[in-house]
Structure 1
Amino acid sequence: MAVRTAGNVLVVFIWSLAGVELESIRLVIRNPDRWMQRTPPSPQKTNPRGLNTSSASQYASSGPRRMAPINVVLGQYGWSVTYTTQSICALKGSTVQLSCSYTYPSGYASWYNVIKTFWFTKVYPVENYVSLSDDPVYKGRVSYRSNMRNGHTLTITDLRESDSATYKFRFITDQTGGKYTGDPGVTLSVTDLQVKVTPYSQTATWKTLTCSTTSCPLTGNPTYTWYKNGQIVTEKISPYSVYPDAADSYSCAVKGREALHSPAVYNPKSTSVSVSPSGEIVEGSSVTLTCSSDANPPVQSYIWYKKNGGGYQSMTGPQHVFNQIQSLDTGEYSCVAQNEMGTDRSRTINMDVKYGPKSTSMSVSHSGEIVEGSSVTLTCSSDANPPVDKYTCSEDSGEYYCEADNKYGRLNSSYVSVDVQYGPKNTSVSVSPSGEIVEGSSVTLTCSSDANPPVDKYTWYKNGASLTGSEKTYNFTTISSEDSGEYYCEADNKYGRLNSSYVSVDVQC
């Protein structure tokens, strides 16, 4: 676009991409009739962002002439940003400075006034650049400093690993399109120090400590300051060999930056075992034991131990899971945490598994035969946790059983038969058939007695004199009047004897 005013021509060049204006430049040509193109322009590549390449066409005065066509190829009119370095590796927690200088077309300085300068890492759509001074992530940690020679310095304090990014400088003038971003920027990598531990062997106590960065390498061959339990022990190039005690910790720092220590490395400590869920552990439930330990480097392996039993390696890291815990799992447990620096054992915790009565049984205290009148104890036993708080004994037809109860359940024992031995009792004689006894009929006398063991001998008596025979019955096949009299029997077993009452037998003629 060209506008002629009072003998001058204002030429405006606008570069756009997909209809979006990227950059523009304004040229004022005084006395345009006196200018003509002396040599044809050579086509050059243009940069719509920065006016960075090619040179302007050459012109010469040839006196008053009519205005000839003007071909202007955008040239490198001094739009630039020069960084002092393209990459920096800095320690976490330190302060870093990024510096640059910038230029813009000096031939048009009267039309360009720089109104804003800033550094950024984030760009949102439609060229929405976020200055670090407005970014909440950097709040209170960034500052800008400019000088009269178009120099600019960004200072970031208390560096964080999340600050690792590419930082670019941008300046904006008061003219449309008069803005510029310096590429490629400065790549900042923020690294932390770490101590790597290498045992001499699986069983050796000597360790090799190496101080290194976690990401980018520091330049040069830095000397390190080594610390033991927070106190300086040596200044030397890494690695460093030590024979650590269980309570020792080691850290390192780059000499000259002693305030920026690496995290300390040390044996596992404060190792403990916790049980989940908390509270009472009931048989059949799921229980998890967790081994916790404070260690750097992190714990490599955990070993679990049960008192009075061998240790076993946990296959699931710091946890040992009982999917359905059993009463046999009751016991005292501890764990050992191990890292490259050493080991630490937890205190023992008692895991008390609760369960209802099991293996309930009834026993008889008396050995051998139980004789009536002796002392006999029936005992109900049951395995339970907590112990059985209630026993109930029952008898069914001479067989006994018990029931054991606690808060987690109840269980009956099997039946127990108690066989009490005693001598004959309730001895009596009965006559068959009953009623009148007629001479010549058949009559049977029967002796009955309650005894345990059963009566093994019967003795019959008539009118006080014993009769022959020792059977339970005394038979008259053909009774006669001479058989009339008073009869009784005597019942015997190993524990005693007992006579029956008299029975009168009156034979009718």
Structure 2
Amino acid sequence: MYRIYTRQNHHNLTVVTLLQLFQELGFQMGRTERYTATTFFMGTARLLKLLRLLTGISVLQQVRGWDITVPKTVTAVEGSCVVVPCHTKPHSRVKWYQYHATKYPVVYDRAQPHKVEHQFKGRTSVVGKAADGNCTLVINDVRRTDNNIQVYAWINPDSSSTQKFHLQTVTISVIEGKAPIISLQEQIMDGDILQANCSIIHSCPSSPPSLHWSKSQFLKNSTIMAFSQEMQGQWLYTETLQGRATYEMHHSNITCSAQFSRFTKKSRLKTLNMLYKPVTVTLKLAKKPVTEGSSVTVECAANCNPPPHTYTWLRREMGQITKITSTLSRKPFINITRDTFILCIAHNDIGEGQSDWLDLDVQYAPVILPKSYCHLTGEVLKCVCQVQAHPDALIHWTIDGNDTLPSSFSAFSTNQTHVLSGVISGPAQSHSDVFCTANNTLGNSTKRLSVNLSDTSSLSTWLIVLIILGLVVLFGCTILIFRKYSRDRPAPGSVCNDTILLRPQGRQGLPDSVQLQSPIYNSPQRSEIEDSQSSPRRPESNPEVEGGVSDVYDNDCVTEIRLIRAQQLHDKETAHLREGQKQPPAKAANCNMDVYLNC
């Protein structure tokens, strides 16, 4: 009796038929036995077909029970992570294996992590929720040794399922990580916004490589923005650097680098091309030193981009400016003097800029200035010699033909911007002959200094005279002020002239002239009548007297005369009353009174 052996290996049903064995046995049997064997073989074949049919139906039902969706291949970037998408029905557990012909290496097992292969330990994880049917595998720190491995998922490995999960494998293809790519504007105007992009390709959307910028320190107010984009199963991570560009960034380099798990990739250098007007313009001399009367070539150097296309040269001498336009950055100048100054203006397509005035530092022979002098004060001689020279000159003195100064003389000098002042002083006679000589590397100059006498006594005399004149003027002004004050307000106690001329008026009149010889008063004290005059209103008087006498000068003397006249009239009336006379005395005749007072 023959049996059909079946072998179940790891929930996989395999049927082994022994047709060849039956055929070999048929050749060894007789005809009758062959017929019997043939009949048995045919029955056995039918049985095998039935078993195959039943087995196929069972496997189909199992596969349809766990419909797993996985890709055939995924691309991983070395140093990044790789995501193996996996979706199925809600489940309780998933286990990932690496496909092998004879073994079952574990790639991921949360329940038994110690069984995970060494090369995958600490690098694998499953994201998502099993309740949602998410069985996605993530492998971190992808290595080159991970290239072309095949992995497959086993859903609920603790169950008695005999599904052939190894039939749905995913192949991981590892590629080398590339350097990031940097891009920016070809030309940037000074003050415009610089925008640079740094992009890197990776395969780990949850953890892209970190990007680092190497940029100019002159980039102001820079900001960085990041975004990711899926691209044919991989991811493109980009950071955008923005900031205000300045001319100092011209020809500076900018790079970016991507940091993976175990290495760093750097981008290529990008050189910035800034456009800006001439910001610094400097002048350079082709030769030094410059002597007076010679020629010189000046170079105009401008810091700008693009380079200057036109140069404007200005030459200033004695306050006059000459303008010259040229396309050359080098310009020769002739007949240079000590007060020659040069300036350059550079022009490009963006704008213009100018240099400072260039002092050529012209060298010249000594020149003794006209303000050099000698003064003799008493028997002391003082001489000053002022010399203009560049380079600085040395001064030598000659007195009365002697080149060596006497020991009784003192000498010193001061220097101020190419002007040297030499001073000597000592005892000498008025007829001394003094020479000043100055020399430097370019020449010398000699001048005779005339001796001027200085008379200090005459100066003192004039000073005294001026002081005396000032005192006299001050005293005279004081006297004038005092006299004016005295004239406006006469002093009390003055004596008036007692001669008064009265002229008659009307039919009853006095004699043509009446002289009162009696004195008025000479009291040194102010009288009571005088005090009444200082009052704002006039004192009361006799109307008859006032009607008959008019005053020429209304002053104290006239007033006193009026009072005395009124008193005399009063005394007469009193005398008539005592004598008993009834007829009143005759009134004073009305007359005009001319009073000539000499106070």
Task: Return the TM-score normalized by structure 2.
Answer: 0.32
Higher CA-based Rg: 2
Higher helix proportion = 2
Task: Return the TM-score normalized by structure 1.
Answer: 0.36
